[in-house]
Structure 1
Amino acid sequence: MRSSVETFDIASGETRVVWQTERLVEAPNWSPDGKSLIINGDGRLYRLAFDGSDPTEIDTGFARQCNNDHGISPDGKTLAISDKTEFGKSAIYLLPAEGGTPRLVTRNLPSYWHGWSPDGQTLTYCGIRDQVFDIYTISIDGGEEWRLTHGEGRNDGPDWSPDRAWIYFNSSRTGRMQIWRVRPDGRDVQRITDSPYGDWFPHPSPDGRHLLVLSYDGEVFDHPRDLDVRLRLMDPQGGNGRVLLELFGGQGTMNVPNWSPKGDEFAFVRYRPV
């Protein structure tokens, strides 16, 4: 399988290939300074510049089984990772963005990171407790986690709105996976999409104007790789939105926040059989 890391320009509708490889790489984050992407592959994290060079590995210390749930703090100083090396289940750690020793944040496992609050003080993530998938938040200093959903279907893929008013997530509580949002204190749960697709991984743009969603065919429940999917752009308040791209992808295409700092582009991974 060939992985093609690409960007999409909202205004022009054009895609640009940043880097291609016959390795499996996933889930690009755009750095807050706009200079590079972070991707994962083979349990490692890599920094990928836009100059055509190969990516460079980020030192993650003992964490050598990183998955595709990772992201950079709003100030660009800290990297959140999800790794299972220490416990055999995914745990969330923080480390310096340039690399270093990870510090454990979540003690309840498994936990899969998905978003930073705009002030950089709180993380949101998917936690599986007694085989129930729900949305949680926790301080960057650790401590008690705050549960936002309570087993109403499968809940996953949370990400913050730039004004910190909402946490968007996908949920199967009405049958098909759709996009919902909830206040950070767990109040006022609202459904955002009512589409014929299976909608996953909502990412609000940094300027608050758009919501980017990955959509499977409606009969697909989970988020597998190697399927035809759509990247759809919609109003954060809801609605039908529009299809920007149709591509071969799914798991790994855009699991985590992937907008450019200005909100005019986003990064994604397209897969091609070799």
Structure 2
Amino acid sequence: MARKLRPGQTAELYVVDVTTGERRLVYSSDSLLFEAPNWVGDRLIVNGDGSLFHINVTGGELTKIELLGVPELNNDHVVSPDGSTVYVSAEDGHLYAVPIAGGPGRRISNDHGVHHYLHGVSPDGSQLAYIGLETKDGRRITNVYTVPADGGPDVQVTDDEFADDGAEYGPDGEWIYFNSERAATVPGHAQLFRIRGEQTEQLTFDERVNWFPHPAGSMVAYVSFPPGTLGHPADVDDVRIRLLEPDGQIRELARVFGGQGTMNVPSWSPDGTSLAYVAYPMSAVVGKEGTGHDHRE
């Protein structure tokens, strides 16, 4: 079931320059809850109401991408490196490939007992990285998997009972970045990691709950929730868009009311200078939340 806006809430699509921190409002809606921007060429792609839409990065109106033969979508979707195909996760638990201009969908994923949540595509476009969710003895277990973009056998990258999510390829195509509770001492304390073969490295070590790493060049953008957050819920106060620098320093780009849908998927501009994200301010704080400022004064 697609998420809906609450009374008095708006969805606001922003672009932020990662060097200057300057933010620009691209589009807002008080009727459609849209989520998870991808950036392709001069357009941004978002999902909403179970469908996909695109909009020029300079603004305008959302235009629906017609997907034929594809079930209702969730908010996990990525674009092929050549910009010709959008890969989507559907509510039936499977992955589909659809022409970026719209048209018939082609199912990619296999039936192997997991629900597929797509997060990444390799730099050469040959592989998709996703999270496979399965239920064992009443427990929800998530692991990192890959599958060929043209279809084929799955490869299970992690095999454990830690809460893993947000699997995304790094620029070299070797490392897969993800968030996990594998280092947590309390439930929900997710941090950022990356994995290559048998080698796993932890990337963040703070008190906040860090999700959805998006690597580009030598930087990693991500969504940071307040301490004690469980999962990646919607409508959370003090969600931060952060940037992990090559030297390990963390730089803050924005603070928003949001979380789920804010920046779930790759949202870097093609030249690596900007990010797109979504804020979900309520009417009482419009003009503060949406501009990325902390509204708790």
Equivalent residues in 2 for 1:161-200 (5 A)? 161-175=170-184, 176-183=189-196, 186-200=197-211
Identity %: 40
Equivalent residues in 2 for 1:24-43 (5 A)? 24-31=33-40, 33=41, 35-43=42-50
Deviations 1:7-56 (A, max 9, x none): 0001221100000001211000000x2x1000000000001113432111
Residue 56 of structure 2: which of 49, 66, 89 is its match? 49
> Counterpart of 1:16?
24
* Greater Rg over alpha carbons, structure: 2
TM-score by length of 1: 0.93
- CA distance in 2: counterparts of 1:189 and 1:170, whole angstroms: 12
> Counterpart of 2:291?
none
Deviations 1:41-91 (A, max 9, x none): 00000011134321110011122411110111000111100112xxxx321
Note the C-alpha offset of 1:236.
5.2
Which stretches in structure 1 are left out of the alignment for 5+ residues? none
Which stretches in structure 2 are left out of the alignment for 5+ residues? 1-8, 284-297
Residue 99 of structure 2: which of 93, 96, 100 is its match? 96
- Report if aligned partners of 2:70, 2:96 keep a CA contact under 8 Å in 1: no
- Report if aligned partners of 1:4, 1:19 keep a CA contact under 8 Å in 2: yes
Deviations 1:212-252 (A, max 9, x none): 01000120020001012011111357x34122211111000
The count of residues paired between Structure 1 and Structure 2 equals: 263
Deviations 1:95-144 (A, max 9, x none): 11111111111123310110010000000000112331000001112222
TM-score by length of 2: 0.86
Residue 267 of structure 1: which of 262, 273, 276 is its match? 276
Is structure 2 residue 117 aligned with structure 1 residue 112?
yes
Deviations 1:146-186 (A, max 9, x none): 11111241110011111112110000112210000001xx3
- CA distance in 1: counterparts of 2:150 and 2:58, whole angstroms: 36
Task: Give the secondary structure class of the aligned counterpart of 1:70.
Answer: strand
- CA distance in 1: counterparts of 2:71 and 2:146, whole angstroms: 24
Residues 236 and 137 of structure 1, relative CA distance in 2, 3 Å threshold: farther
* RMSD (Å) for aligned C-alpha atoms: 1.3
- Report if aligned partners of 1:115, 1:124 keep a CA contact under 8 Å in 2: yes
> Counterpart of 1:214?
223
- CA distance in 2: counterparts of 1:143 and 1:64, whole angstroms: 21
Equivalent residues in 2 for 1:70-149 (5 A)? 70-84=77-91, 89-107=92-110, 108=112, 109-130=114-135, 131-149=140-158
- CA distance in 2: counterparts of 1:193 and 1:226, whole angstroms: 24
- Aligned AA for 1:43? G
Question: Runs of 4 or more off by more than 6 Å in structure 1?
Answer: none
Task: Give the secondary structure class of the aligned counterpart of 1:260.
Answer: coil
- Report if aligned partners of 2:13, 2:277 keep a CA contact under 8 Å in 1: yes
